[in-house]
Amino acid sequence: MGKSLKDYGLQHICRSEDILVQRTRDVIDALDAPIPEACNAARKQLNNELRTAYKCIISHVKRKKPGLFFIDGLGGIGKTFLYCALYAKVCLLNQIVLPTATSGIAASNIPTGRTAHSRFKLLVDCGQSFTCNVGKQSSVASLIKEISLIIWDEASMARRENIESLDLLLRDLCLPDVPFGGKVVVFGGDFRQTVPIVPKKSRQEIIGYILVSSHLWPLFTRFELTAVYPNISTQSIHPSFFAERVILTPRNEDVDLINSKLIDKFFGDVCIYKNFDSVIDDHCNIYLIEFLNTLFPRGMSPHELILKLNCPVILLRNLDPSSGLCNGTRLICKIFMPNAIQYEISTGFSKGEYVMLPRINLRPSESSGYPFQF
């Protein structure tokens, strides 16, 4: 009721040195949270972009300086990896971190993660009230007052009312005049993916429900993650580095665009190979060579193949499966010659072996849909 034993002259029955009496069970559990070895190791494996965000956030935590951050990046680019590193470091500082996420699946990717609705008692129906169902004398309130860092993954999927509700809760429990009560808060997500679910609203109307439409958005420091292959422009990367990483996309147009961007950043001089197109039985020369060069049949390389030393490539034909040369084999370019290229096999049981591949005549399959053969 806002009173203490001291108000009634009974302070002598409390032991001031008994710190555990002043702590709630939630605070004790948060301080004793385990640190998985993978999270601890993640702190030493961050690339340059992740390390920049990591150092900035941890600096705010150590100095107890308020901070709002948003980690923006495509799926699979390393956001969860960064969260795990932050979790491990804050726990090692003997401070409390609350990992949350909009969805249960995303929350399960971070140690002790819970959904934001469960952790902060957010109302499911935001239209009724912005108030979180947290009492000032509750154990959850005691926990929130003690935290040093809040992580909210997939915040791009959350309605801005939920995030504004958290802001009001933290202001109410901590510093009323500072955004999010002066806590260090890290949001993350990808606005290119799933947007908040708002019934009976068009896509244009839903834009008004996302975080970027909130009055809080200008207060965030944004870190945009772009590098799946960090330091790709340096010579320090071992060729086997690429055997453990891959970018997946369902469209060939996106494949060509990504390849073009990455090869530009790759270290070394460019070597260009062009194919020689010709139509079979085209006695009247109906189809121009320039037109043939613009065609991109599936399962075949582009007209202009741009390569660099030690860049990765994928074999598109079953040339010699018994020797490891089959469709999908990943290779590393080693020596370029006018009509052949020497590669090192980087995957499979033939990993490390060198092979020489010459120019090969190829014909698109009939299922490609062209009215002629070339």
**DSSP one-letter code for 205:** H
Cα 164 from Cα 271, distance rounded (Å):
53
H/E run at residue 312? strand 312-314
The long-range contacts involving 193-200, CB below 8 angstroms and separated by at least 24 positions, are 193/75, 193/156, 193/157, 194/156, 194/157, 195/156, 195/157, 196/157, 196/158, 196/159, 198/159
Query: Which residues share a beta bridge with 7?
Result: none
Report pLDDT for 19.
44
Under the banding of pLDDT at 50, 70 and 90, the label for residue 14 is low
Q: Lowest mean pLDDT of 19-28, 101-110, 249-258, 361-370, name the range.
A: 19-28
Token pair 């060198």: residue: 354
Closest by Cα among 281, 247, 283 to 262: 247
Average pLDDT score, the chain: 85
Residue pair 120/100 in contact by the 8 Å Cβ criterion: yes
Query: Which residues share a beta bridge with 98?
Result: 150
What is the pLDDT averaged over residues 126-151?
83
Residue 89 has pLDDT above 50, yes or no: yes
The residues of the chain that CATH labels 3.40.50.300 are 5-224
Residue 128 has pLDDT above 70, yes or no: no
Q: Lowest mean pLDDT of 149-158, 178-187, 261-270, 295-304, name the range.
A: 295-304
> Domain 5-224 sits in which CATH superfamily?
P-loop containing nucleotide triphosphate hydrolases (3.40.50.300)
Residue 356 has pLDDT above 90, yes or no: yes
Residue pair 106/96 in contact by the 8 Å Cβ criterion: no
Under the banding of pLDDT at 50, 70 and 90, the label for residue 134 is confident
- pTM for this structure? 0.64
Report pLDDT for 365.
79
Alpha helices (H) along 182-333: 203-206, 252-265, 289-293
Residue 127 has pLDDT above 70, yes or no: no
Under the banding of pLDDT at 50, 70 and 90, the label for residue 253 is confident
Q: Which residues contact 358 (CB under 8 A, 6 or more apart)?
A: 339, 340
